[in-house]
Amino acid sequence: MNRSLSGALVALSLCFAAPATAADAPSLPRRQYVPANDYVRQNWAGDYIGLTGSYSWGRASSWDSTTGGFNYGTHGGLGGVSYLHYWQFGNVVFGPEVTWSWGSVSGKKIFDCGPGCVPVSHAKITSLGTVGANVGYALGDFLPYVGGGYARASTTIRSDLNLGGTTLLSMTSRQPADGWYAKAGLEYKLTDNITVGLAYQRTELTLSDFGDSTGFRSSQKATDNAIRADLRLRF
């Protein structure tokens, strides 16, 4: 009898002690919920200055209403400076960009006009400036974007007539060329204030477009494709 009563008292004491023991046990830390979009909210807004460089390949064409036309390939490189301002609303980033580059993108066309007669036509872009805008979508440290706008180049056009290895005639003209550009690229944040980027850019330029009252017309145009690299500093 005494043994049964003692066992009942022990069982009853354990029942009351178990909740207190569970309450006194340390609880595991809860994992905080972080919205999925928080990690992509990086600040891209601000003013940027930078260096830009590109390798270009393309095609120049010449046409007139009397003799018809011809075209030839061009290639070369340009390097220069850029200024960019970005505004940001959520993940959408946009703003104006201005660039100016110098170098040489050139090509030539060699004709055959008989024994020893070699006319040559040359075209060269010596500088290229652009004024336009970019718009992109921020994905953390990455910013894919597209852009476009107005393009203006300084060009040199030269025509030579060689006979028997001697240049008999050479005509050179230097003139601006107007057109447009479009590009698509990706920028990456190395630090909060330093970014690098890579883009493909296409530029269409009209070197000359001439017509007179007799009905004669002539035009020279250039299409340039470029892989462009940028290094920017936000200030």
Domain of 185 in residue numbering reads as 42-234
Percent of the chain past pLDDT 90, that is, above it, reads: 51
Q: What is the pLDDT of residue 70?
A: 77
Q: Residue 33 falls within a domain, yes or no? A: no
Residue 17 domain flag: no
For 191-211, write each residue's pLDDT tens digit: 999 999 999 999 999 876 655
Q: Is residue 102 part of a domain?
A: yes
Query: Does residue 106 belong to any structural domain of this protein?
Result: yes
Place of tokens 């872009």: 125
- Give every CB contact of residue 180 below 8 A, 6+ residues apart in sequence: 148, 149, 150, 151, 203, 204
Is residue 62 packed enough to be buried (19+ CB in 10 Å), middle (13-18) or exposed (0-12)? buried
For the entire predicted model, the pTM comes to 0.73
* Within a domain: 229: yes
Closest CA to 196 of 53, 18, 13: 53
pLDDT digits (tens, 9 = 90+) for 44-58: 999 999 999 999 999
For the chain, the domain total comes to 1
Report pLDDT for 218: 65
Tell me the pLDDT of the chain averaged across its residues. Answer: 81
Which of these ranges, 92-96, 189-193, 212-216, has the smallest mean pLDDT?
212-216
Q: What is the CATH number of the domain that holds 88?
A: 2.40.160.20
9 lies in a domain?
A: no
State how far the alpha carbon of 1 is from the alpha carbons of 5, 6, 12, 15, 61, in Å.
6, 9, 17, 22, 116
Q: Please determine, for residue 217, whether its predicted confidence score (pLDDT) is greater than 50.
A: yes
**pLDDT beyond 50 at 221:** yes
Contact predicate 119/104, CB 8 Å: no
> Do the domain assignments include residue 13?
no
Task: Please indicate, yes or no, if residue 153 is contained in any of the structural domains.
Answer: yes
Q: Which residue has the higher pLDDT, 84 or 161?
A: 84
Compute the distance between CA of residue 94 and CA of residue 132 in angstroms, rounded to an integer.
Answer: 11
Q: Tokens 């018809």 sit at which residue?
A: 68
